[in-house]
Amino acid sequence: MNKRPDIQAQLDGLAGMLVHWLAEVRHPAQFWPQFEMLAGEILDQCAHTERDAVHARIQAMLKAHALELPPWHERDNSVPTGRPGA
């Protein structure tokens, strides 16, 4: 089953949430855990062949708001999900 339309819709939703989160967040420490969890859930649904494109989309949405991926990106090129074994 091709989940690409679902993945795209989830990425669009995540990008739309950024405006609200960034306007309302009092400290970056509040933003990153929620963003990482949601981005990780999206990446978990991706086929191996989709991961690079989805990861690039996540990077682009952050860059559009003058944000950079935190250090976990440099270590393993993935978003942690917070779930054991994920």
Each residue's pLDDT tens digit, 30-42 = 888 888 899 999 9
Residue 6 structure tokens: 């679902």
pTM of the model: 0.74
Q: What is the DSSP string of 35-82?
A: HHHHHHHHHHHS-TTTHHHHHHHHHHHHHTTT----THHHHHSS---S
pLDDT for the residue numbered 32: 85
